[in-house]
Every structure is written in C-alpha cells, then in structure tokens.
Amino acid sequence: MLFSSVLRALPAALLISVAQSGPLEHKPRQSSVDAFIKTQADVSIKGVLANIGTDGAKAQGVPAGIVVASPSRQNPDCDIDWYTWTRDAALTYKALVERFIAGDTSLKQKLDDYVSAQAYLQGVSNPSGGPDTGGLGEPKFNVDRTAFTGSWGRPQRDGPPLRATALTIYANWLVANGGTTQAANTVWPVIAKDLAYTVRYWNQTGFDLWEEVNGSSFFTLAATHRALVEGAALATKLGKTCDGCASAAPQVLCFLQSFWTGSYIDSNINLNDGRTGKDVNSILSSIHTFDPESKCTDSTFQPCSSRALLNHKAVTDSFRTVYGINRGIAQGRAVAVGRYSEDVYYNGNPWYLATLAAAEQLYSAIYQWNKIGSVTVDSVSLPFFRDILPSIATGTYAKDSATYKSIISAVKTYGDEFIAVVQKYTPANGGLAEQFDKNNGSPLSAVDLTWSYAAFLTATERRAGIISPTWGEPANNVAPTTCTAPPACNAKITFNVRATTVFGENVFVVGQLTQLGNWDPASAKPLSASKYTSSDPLWTATIDLPASTVFDYKYIRKSSSGVVTWESDPNRRFTTSSGCGSTATVNDSWR
C-alpha cells in the first residue's frame, strides 16, 4: 500500500540555494532545500512502504510486516539485500510509529503486521541459537521468515533493544488511546522477550551495526540503555514485570561513559581494529536516544550536549579529506558523511543515511535548545560552535538574545547544508541507494535502501519540529560513580581434540567469542598436552564460556617459529550448556 495521505505541512525554513558557488554547485533541479524536502519526503515514504510485505510494490510475496532491506538482487547466487534485518526493520518501524502518532492513521495495520511478524521471527531457531539460547541476536533472516544459515557477523545485540523501543512507543500510544488490552496481550510479549535478551547479554561483546567488528559497540549500548529505561516504565504501566531492567539500565549508562575519549566517542572498544573509533555509529546513537525533554545531558550524549556536538565535529571532520567530493569545502560547511574514514566496503564511500544523521542531530539539538530556552557554549562544545560562528565565546545565551538567535540560525543553516549535500547526489527520480561515490557522487551499492528512506523522513521531521515522545531520559541520566558488571553466568566447557603433532607444535582453540579470542590466533586459548600419548594424541582445556550460547570455533596449530596452521573448513559449532556453573564436553578430531 503506497502512501496516499496528504503530506503534513512543513514550517517555513531557511532557504539554501543548491546553485551557490563552490563545492555544492550543481544542477538547478530544485531551487531550495524546502522544495527538495517536499518532493523527496513523498518519494521516501513511498520508498519505505514499497519494501514492506505483503503489498509493497517491491516486496511482492513477502509476508506482512516483513521489511526488505532493499529490493536489490545484484548477484543471482546471493541476493545481497533480499533479506530482513532486525536492526533495519526496527529503525524503519520506529520512524513509522512516530509518523503514525503524528497523524498518519493509514499506518495502523502496518504496525500491527510488524508486531505479528516479529513475534514469529522471535521463535525461529537460527545459527545464533534458539528462542531462549541467544537466537534473538541473529542479525538477519530470509524474507520468507526462515533462518539465514550462511556465515555472517553474529550475534548482533542491537536488534532486540531497537525493536523493543519501536514497539514500546507503539504500546504507550495504545495505552493512551484505549488499546491497553492489545498493548498488554499482543505487543508486550514481544517486547518482554527482547528486554530479557537485552538484560542477559548487554555486557557481552557482539558485532557492531556495520556487522564488521566484534567488541563493545556504543550504538548497541546506547540503544540498550534507552530500551531498558522505557521498557521498565511500560512494564509498570501494564502491571507486568521486567526482570533486571531497572538494575541493569544504570550500569549500562555507567559503561557508556567509557566510550568518551575527551574529544570524541570511540564507537567500538574492547577490540583491536586499527581504527580511530570516529564513526557515524555515534551520531546515529545520539539521534536514536534523543529525548525532547532532556536538558542537553552529557551522560546520555543528547544531540545538544557538549559531548555530542564536539563528537559531531570530530566525526564529520574525519571525512573532509578522504572523499574527493568533499575537497574544497571549508571548515564549518557540510560535507558528505560515511560510516568511518577507514572504511573499505565498496572502497569506502559516503552513505545517504549517515549524511542525513548529521543533519538530524543538529535539528534535534535546535528543538532541545528552544525547549530549554537557552544555549550553553562551554569549553567542550566551543570548537563545534566556532566552526559556524567564529566569534562565539563561552557562556549561556538566553532565547531572547541576539547571540541565541545567531546560534540557532547558524546551526539550522549547517543542518540544511547536509540536506543539500544529499540533494546534490540524489538522482532525479529521488531513489536513495545505500551509498554514493566518493569521487563523483553516483549512487552505489544496494538500490532503494529502506533505511536511507527512513533516515530522510526522520531528519526532515525533526527539522519540522515533529518529535518522538520522551523515553524518560530526565529521570535516568545519572550514571553510578562505580560501574558494576552483572554476575557472569558461565558454563565450563572442556575441549578435547585428537591432533597428532611434532615436537615444538602446540594446539589452540579459537572462535567467535571474546573468551576464544574473536578468531585472532594471537589470542587463541592454549590446550594442554598433559594427557597426550602416541596412541591417544589428546589436547585438552576447560574454558569458562557464557551459558546457553551458540558459537563457532576451530582448532589451530602453532609451530615453535610461530607459523599458524588452521584445520580445514567448515567452522565447528557448539551450544554451551544452560545454567550458571554447568559443564559440558566436546570431543573432536583434527581435520
């Protein structure tokens, strides 16, 4: 069902010519950002709905409520984006729920379809586990709702809290509008499973939202904190329980503080990936956890907080010299934004959703400042403000002051310039792909990316003052002075492998868990040859691993000179025993 309702009116905004001199000079297809938004918003909502089953124009045959990441099928042997991602679907539906609450009642059935579809997927066993053994951390499924069993970066622990947030916003609306029974009996059971997963696994590593590195992700933990806070509140409202939500949330917030370097957010820690950590992951986190009632809180990295503003500068600046299309753009002017500057996927390019996120943070910050009635410029945020207002000084500027008005105007202009960058590299039909070429701006990778369209909607709605309801940030933004990790729930797993070796060789086990070195041979766990005999070449070790967890692993040999030999494919897979302190044994032979 394509969107047919009349577009909500957008307020008058500062017009920025796309035909200005300098790097943004381009075809005069649209004379202003306002005109572009009006047409592109229509294209974007249609683009989102076209990718949702059953009646989406580009999702024919897909079950109701299932979001196709992209209709792109670039390789007939591997339909690259013909899958449904838990993360992408949750962020897309969060945007649709917000749009529904703002007045688009035509979306009601879509929301109910999403609830049903996600309830079904929660019960599908997959390579990450079963419904109660980590399966909710599976990143993607086939569009027919069956498990994807190929190799992938799994688990990804952002999906459950993101889905919980989208459904919590909907459940709160239902409660406020006579739908408490539906909220309690249909929506809450899905939320409850996601929250239980989130409570259980928040302190374990997983793959980041780019599905590349296994560690502690700022995006995942920021989404986790929000989901636990609002989930606990919803449980109370419905007379339900959310075991561990209230106690885990402050500890997650405490852990989040460790990602702040003093000048930017290091988006992925507890890994050695060779990157600076300047990643649009952090800007996406800030806009996801935006609370319209917040007071620019640093601890939750709100869009208007000093930390988030300085991080915005650090992340966007990191792309100024790596993309050809950004060359010549002055400091304090918008640039095309990608995932992270070291990116090599498709040779590393800007993403539409990343550039739109940079704009959305600025629009969200303006909303917060207008609500508060002042802007505070301190030593942390000063570099951000000086890029767009070189003469600005530290201080607090009230809403009726000339300086306040200058700040709001400059930040609005800066946000609009990011939209203008997107406008410049959007084809005439408004189709938003995943990326655009870093040298000539041509669309690249997956076409009609659902998340790109959803990102356009949320950015421009924030610009228009259309916001999401509060999630309770003002009462949940003080981190404990000391972080306390939850008690480990480990199982003792004994690895036995028969592997004939020569003098000087040793055998190790390595795998996808942090406890098994995250596939890094240098961090592999050694096995003992204390029981090794010529007739029984046994290597063994007992290792504490998270209980009820599915993981892949292999054995490797290391020679005395450091040469590493891997056993042959495929990877081995094992599910640890359930219950804290439980034991299990695996018996393997080298292959």
Which positions make up the binding site?
A: 152
- The DSSP-derived string for 322-339 is T-GGGTTPPTTS----BS
Asked if 493 and 584 touch (Cβ cutoff 8 Å), the reply is yes
- Using the Cα atoms of residue 343, residue 345, residue 350 and residue 351 in order, give the sign of their dihedral: negative
Inter-residue long-range contacts of 191-194, CB under 8 Å, 24+ positions, other chains counted: 191/164, 191/167, 191/231, 191/234, 192/235, 192/240, 192/242, 193/122, 193/131, 193/136, 193/160, 194/122, 194/136, 194/160, 194/161, 194/163, 194/164, 194/167, 194/227
104 contacts 111 by C-beta, under 8 angstroms: no
Binding residues for substrate: 152
d(CA 125, CA 138): 9
Q: How far apart are CA 363 and CA 458, in angstroms?
A: 10
Task: Classify burial at 111, counting beta carbons within 10 Å of its beta carbon; exposed 0-12, middle 13-18, buried 19 or more.
Answer: buried
User: How far from 430 is each of 51, 338, 352, CA to CA, in Å?
Assistant: 15, 20, 12
Residues identified as active-site:
208, 211
Q: In what order do the strands lie in the sheet with 206-207?
A: 206-207, 214-217, 268-269
Q: Which of 380, 401, 377 is nearest to 391 (CA)?
A: 377
* C-alpha dist (Å) from residue 4 to 42, 65, 106, 185: 9, 19, 9, 31
Distance CA 284, CA 274 (A): 22
For 394-405, the DSSP string reads SEEEETTSHHHH
Which residues are 129's β-sheet partners? 126
CA distance 178 to 183: 10
| Residue 1 burial (10 A CB sphere; 0-12, 13-18, 19+) | middle
Contact 205, 214 (CB under 8 A): yes
Residue 108 — left, alpha, or beta (φ > 0 → left; ψ -120 to 50 → alpha)? alpha
